[in-house]
Structure 1
Amino acid sequence: MYPKINPRRRGLRIAVWSLVTALVVAAGPVGVVLWQHSYAMDERRVSIRHGGHTLNGVLAIPKDNHKHHGLVVYVHGDGPVDATHDDGYKPLWEANAKAGYASLSWDKPGVAGAPGNWLGQSMDDRADEAAAAIAWARARPDIDGDRIGLWGASQAGWVLPKVAAKAPVSFVIAVSPAINWLQQGRYNLLAQLRADGASPGLTQAAIARSDTTRRLLERHATFEEYVKSMGGDVDGMTADRWGFISKNHTADATQDLRALRGVPVLLALAGHDINVDTADTERIYREVLDAGGALTAKRYPDATHSFLKQSIEQSDLKTTLTALFAPRSLFADGFLDGQRQFLKDLDRGSSATP
């Protein structure tokens, strides 16, 4: 005879197994998230002294047991960006690590507790910052000083060549970099209006507002004058932001790009970029750099300005879920592999040189 099962014990057993099942189901997605956000590199917090203050940075080192690594120094685009770009840089750092390269990035001034205010910086200030970071890295025994290069996106287009003029670099990865501040601003305005389906009237009003802003910048108007000219409708503009734009609106990378002649440059261009006129960028890069034969231009048809897949960026839900469960898949097809291959080819080229 089989023993009788106590109803209360049977109920407890069912409750326990139900709880276990629920935990397993819940742990599955959590495990996937943890696994997907585990990258093949070691991240270390570092401090870099520059201009009397400290840059709060992150150094990501490959897990390959080598004593010396090349280094990719990151130059941010616009906005209050922290060292990891809210972890968005990590898939790129991992691609670098797979090629045997470390990655270095730092919080912009005033971001994540860092001292200062990034809106008080000129493009030259930002270049000085990056040059100081390169000097710091060259003094480290785990970094190969002959294999240090730059990575920069968007607004960094005005910074990268300035850095190269201050500190020798072995390569540059330029991701949809801008050329001329005012021209790119007008391109972005018109592209955004088209994307939004703006009416002719709204388009003309936006252009008129932009023209007024340009005239104010040309005569070095104060923020108070800007507010008055706009009838109090500042559309999110702050005094600090106005100061930043006033300081940098004449930026143009065309002449500065000459500092990159002979330096291997990977120019990555997005197919759905409404921020930067990529055709104009490619034209200028080719005019200035093609003669040296060191420019590689690659277009990514499915990429937006942020180099996410357009199909993902168009949906907040898709962006969130992909960032959680498959962060490497956020990026345009071939973008991560392209950078990894570029770095590997650099090393092959240098080792093949007599």
Structure 2
Amino acid sequence: MCPKVQSRRRGLRVTVWSLVAVLTVAVGATGVVLGQNSYDMDEQRVSIRHGGHTLNGVLTTPETGRKHHGVVVYVHGDGPVDATHDGGYRPIWEANAKAGYASLSWDKPGVAGAPGDWLGQSMDDRADEAVAAIAWARARPDVDADQIGLWGASQAGWVLPKVAARTPVSFVIAVSPAINWLRQGRFNLLAELRAEGASAARTRAEIARSDAVRRLLARRATYDEYVEAMGGEDGMTAGRWRFISRNHTADATRDLRALRGVPVLLSLAGHDINVDTADTERVYREVLGAGVSLTVERYPDASHAMVKWSIEQSDLRTALTALFSPRSLFAAGFLDDQRRFLAALGRGGRAG
């Protein structure tokens, strides 16, 4: 056989086997991704009527075959969040399902095609939404009306107790909840400056700018007045300014009294630069007392979002972990602690 022909055939075989290897890896990776992103629960889209419009929701239910189950109603944090939080809620919903609980969440107004605009909401508006969702859940024949509670993160800290004051809830899971809007803002500003290694001069300048914004908020300045005072647009939109103006006086301290006697799981992150978790724990303990109704769980390796700090520092690592092992995104013990908390309630017990 001609050496050139042999060489071509040898090259063709190498190419073919290389393609086979790539395809094998691709198929294997696809199998891993599909397997890791399949959850032990049933998921369906639902519609909830509220205030003349529809909340576009997602309801997940356990695959236990039980006729009745409790429900965890989700209250989002800040930002344009859809019902699944871009899929980030699903590992938590699965933990709920393992404890025998359904999970109910919905797109914020204006997100994923939902009507309205979330930036036009007050914390009371958000509480009204959750109350409507709870009423919708109670009307379902497959729901245990005595086991409906709330899950909320960050900004939801101002919403959860308002909901509890308006309708009975069986439990609350509060994840890095905020207490006071202005205190949280100042804590976040200083924490970010420290993380960036800001100079003393820059820190003083940023504090002065923050104080100027507070004065504008106190006198109910318009967006145009804000832009003029700041020397031009700085990324703050008119909608965001109105949202902050509407909500900047939020403080959960007084409202938290509505949670007295309600089993509360307070989850706090060790690397939280958004919320002063020490202040949050102090206020929760002072208002709710030292009884067994309050359970505090701390996660030293967690960020504000309860994602492992080491993972969150890399966008690539976060993306790959979310794709190939989404449950391991969360801080050690976070999912199991929520499952155990709910399971104890389902047995008529108290987590504590």
Please classify the TM superposition score into its range, dividing by the shorter chain length.
over 0.9
> Is residue 2:238 matched to residue 1:239?
yes
Aligned partner of residue 59 in structure 1, secondary structure? strand
Give the match for residue 98 of structure 2: 98
C-alpha distance in 1 between matches for 2:183 and 2:14: 68
Cα distance in structure 2, aligned partners of 1:209 and 1:76: 29
What is the DSSP-based 3-state SS (H/G/I as helix, E as strand, rest coil) of the residue aligned with 2:146?
strand
Between the aligned partners of 2:116 and 2:191, the Cα distance in structure 1 is 33
**Partner residue of 2:343?**
344
CA–CA distance in structure 1, aligned partners of residues 286 and 12 of structure 2:
77
Q: Which runs of 5+ in 1 are unaligned?
A: 1-5
Q: Distance in 2 between matches of 1:261 and 1:214?
A: 32
Query: Number of residues paired by the alignment?
Result: 345
- 1:251 maps to a residue whose letter is A
Residues in 1 aligned to 2:126 and 2:266: alpha-carbon distance in whole angstroms: 20
Give the AA of the match of 1:332: A
Q: How many angstroms does 1:34 deviate by?
A: 0.7
Superposition pairs for residues 1-354 of structure 1, below 5 Å? 19-232=19-232, 234-350=233-349
Deviations 1:309-329 (A, max 9, x none): 000001111111111110000
User: C-alpha separation between the residues in 2 aligned to 1:29 and 1:236?
Assistant: 40
Letter in 1 for 2:244: I
Instruction: Give the superposition deviation at 1:17.
Output: 5.3
Give how far 1:143 is off: 1.1
Q: Give the CA deviation at 1:16.
A: 5.8
1:89 and 1:15 map into 2 onto residues whose CA distance is: 43
- Aligned-pair distance for 1:236? 1.3
RMSD over equivalenced CA pairs, Å = 1.7
**How far did 1:24 drift?**
1.4
Letter in 2 for 1:228: E
How much has 1:64 moved relative to structure 2? 1.0
CA-to-aligned-CA distance 1:5-32 (integer Å, 9 cap, x gap): x989999887665544332121111110
**One-letter code of the match for 2:70?**
G
**CA drift at 1:348:** 2.1
Residue pair 1:71, 1:102 contacting (<8 A) in 2 also: yes
- 2:132 and 2:211 mapped to 1: Cα distance? 38
Percent identity over paired residues: 78
Matching residue's letter, 2:141: P
Give TM-score scaled by structure 2 length.
0.95
How far off is 1:235 after superposition?
A: 2.6
CA distance in 2, matches of 1:160, 1:70: 18
Equivalent position SS for 1:349: coil
Unmatched runs of 5 consecutive residues or more in structure 2: none
Partners of 2:150 and 2:176 in 1: CA distance: 14
> What SS class does the counterpart of residue 337 from structure 2 fall into?
helix
Q: 1:308 to 1:19 in 2, by over 3 A?
A: same
